[in-house]
Amino acid sequence: MEIRENIFANSQTSSYICTQINTNKAKTQNKNSTISSKSIAYCQNKMKIYELPQEYKPLLNLKQTELAIKQIKEIFQLNIASTLRLRRVTAPLFVLQGTGLNDDLSGTEHAVSFPIQDMNGATAEVVHSLAKWKRVTLADYNIPKGYGIYTDMNAIRAHEELDNLHSLYVDQWDWERVITEEERNIAFLRQIVKDIYSAILHTEFMISEHYPQIIPTLPREIHFIHSEELRRMYPTLTSKEREEAITKEHRAVFIFGIGGKLGDGEPHDNRAPDYDDYSTPNDDGFYGLNGDLMIWSDILGKAVELSSMGIRVDKKTLLQQLESSGKEERKKLYFHQRLLNDTLPLSIGGGIGQSRLCMLLLKKAHIGEIQSSIWPDDMRKQCRELNIPLI
């Protein structure tokens, strides 16, 4: 193995240390097999690692890529809307601060905000996601049970650490559907996940028909597992390492129970306490009615979180999760008051990354090949050297 280290000049953001690791075919002594290891470049900004595949060649040129992005969005959007019985609505780019409508995701992120001159300096926040706004919209539009809404959600997440999968700009299909009390269970969530995955498979097939060089690789079935089962399966791994291990094995995985504490006293990942229900006991003997959909990327050699979704909190679980997380002061906010006063329907919903879906289906190495955003100068330089064309 040959290791070459290059220290690039400082960009406007920070200094990067890039290490290129070139590996040739190597024979393992214990397995009597030959393994071809692909060459990978790593760019490090403090503790953040960027993995960029070497010898990468895009399957589509820029013009084809732009057309394919349009086709993927049209095909998937039509499929998901008809399968889940969703109608499209127009969504806000920003909401008023202090209403509780914006989502703080894991509970620690800060929204991009600005004063509104013509409203006496009232502060608006660029949305992180639309989980709470969608639920209010279901009520305001009088959407009946069994039907829902979807929208194109565009957001700015200034806190993101930029890499192949994370951008300052976020685009996703945000959807929400009215459900009954009887549907607040793990079996119903599992069926919704299967429906969404079916739409992904259909989109993958249609794109491969348009572009024969893109070969479908997704498995026909998605694998389900609870985060506590995953912890017991890999007790020595971190939660992210467990995601990598299970997704590499099954290639498409839905992990239940994101946000609640597991057997070791730690959550698999953090969730804000006021939208997903991560504390209700489910029929599988664990806790939580939410989860993350993970897809394996052969190009990156890693798991990609494509969607986060779940059955939303009802009045009881909202109060429980606010109390356990020390966020009881939120009960006074507009959204929370509406839920506590029974003016919001029970619902299920989530977000599906548009750029990430396109990236996965088009076999791209960087999300910047799909969307136009701001990237550090050194990342752009490294991508050019590795034949990764950022938009």
- Looking at the structure, tell me whether residues 48 and 66 fall in a common domain: no
Greater model confidence, 64 or 40: 64
The strand pairing partners of 347, in sequence order, are 178
The CB density around residue 37, as the number of other CB atoms within 10 Å, is: 12
Element (H, E) at 230: helix 227-233
Q: Does residue 27 form part of some domain?
A: yes
157 labelled catalytic? yes
- Looking at the structure, tell me whether residues 11 and 78 fall in a common domain: no
Catalytic hit among 77, 103, 177, 251 = 103
The whole domain housing 18 covers: 2-56+376-385
Highest mean pLDDT among 49-58, 92-101, 136-145: 136-145
Q: Cα torsion for 274, 278, 281, 285, to the nearest 10°?
A: 180
Q: Does residue 390 form part of some domain?
A: no
Catalytic hit among 20, 227, 307, 308 = 308
Catalytic hit among 269, 276, 277, 292 = 292
CATH number of residue 359's parent domain: 3.30.930.10
Of the candidates 81, 139, 98, the one whose C-alpha atom is nearest the C-alpha of residue 352 is: 81
- Looking at the structure, tell me whether residues 20 and 39 fall in a common domain: yes
Residues 270, 174: Cα–Cα separation, whole Å: 20
308 labelled catalytic? yes
Of the candidates 297, 389, 385, 347, the one whose C-alpha atom is nearest the C-alpha of residue 18 is: 385
Quick check: 224 and 373 in contact, CB under 8 A? no
Burial of 58 (0-12, 13-18, 19+ CB in 10 A): middle
Query: What average pLDDT is seen over the chain?
Result: 86
Return the pLDDT at 6. Answer: 31
Q: Give one word for 46, left, alpha or beta, with left for phi > 0 and alpha for psi -120 to 50.
A: left
Residues 6+ apart with CB under 8 A from 266: 239
Residue 246 backbone phi and psi in degrees, to 5: -70, -35
172 labelled catalytic? yes
pLDDT class for 102, splitting at 50, 70, 90?
A: confident
Which tokens go with 343?
Answer: 């003016």
Mean pLDDT over 54-63 rounds to: 91
pLDDT class for 106, splitting at 50, 70, 90?
A: low
Place of tokens 């599988």: 284
Residues 282, 193: Cα–Cα separation, whole Å: 16
- Looking at the structure, tell me whether residues 32 and 139 fall in a common domain: no
Catalytic hit among 109, 152, 160, 305 = 305
Q: Does residue 370 form part of some domain?
A: no
- Looking at the structure, tell me whether residues 8 and 85 fall in a common domain: no
- Coil/strand/helix, residue 20: strand
- Could you read off the pLDDT of 348-387 as tens digits, one per residue? 999 999 999 999 999 999 999 999 999 999 889 989 988 9
Which tokens go with 277?
Answer: 């229900």
Q: Does residue 175 form part of some domain?
A: yes
- Looking at the structure, tell me whether residues 103 and 221 fall in a common domain: yes
- Looking at the structure, tell me whether residues 45 and 140 fall in a common domain: no
Mean pLDDT over 86-100 rounds to: 92
Quick check: 224 and 194 in contact, CB under 8 A? no
Residues 68, 5: Cα–Cα separation, whole Å: 37
Residues 50, 386: Cα–Cα separation, whole Å: 13
The CB density around residue 180, as the number of other CB atoms within 10 Å, is: 11
Which tokens go with 9?
Answer: 């000049």
- Looking at the structure, tell me whether residues 14 and 67 fall in a common domain: no
Place of tokens 């009390």: 181
Of the candidates 211, 222, 210, 192, the one whose C-alpha atom is nearest the C-alpha of residue 80 is: 192
Q: Name the pTM for this structure.
A: 0.86
Which tokens go with 300?
Answer: 């990156």
- Looking at the structure, tell me whether residues 12 and 99 fall in a common domain: no
- Could you read off the pLDDT of 144-173 as tens digits, one per residue? 999 999 999 999 888 888 999 999 999 999
pLDDT class for 51, splitting at 50, 70, 90?
A: low
Place of tokens 């951008």: 167
Tell whether the model's pLDDT for residue 15 goes beyond 90.
no
Catalytic hit among 77, 125, 157, 276 = 157
Catalytic hit among 129, 172, 321, 354 = 172
pLDDT class for 47, splitting at 50, 70, 90?
A: very low
274 labelled catalytic? no
Greater model confidence, 293 or 163: 293
163 labelled catalytic? no
Residues 301, 165: Cα–Cα separation, whole Å: 13
Domain count, the chain: 2
Cα angle vertex 181, ends 172, 252, to 5°? 40
- Looking at the structure, tell me whether residues 275 and 381 fall in a common domain: no
Mean pLDDT over 58-78 rounds to: 97
Residues 122, 305: Cα–Cα separation, whole Å: 35
- Looking at the structure, tell me whether residues 122 and 27 fall in a common domain: no
Quick check: 79 and 203 in contact, CB under 8 A? yes
Which tokens go with 96?
Answer: 């008023």
Residues 124, 115: Cα–Cα separation, whole Å: 6
Q: Does residue 371 form part of some domain?
A: no
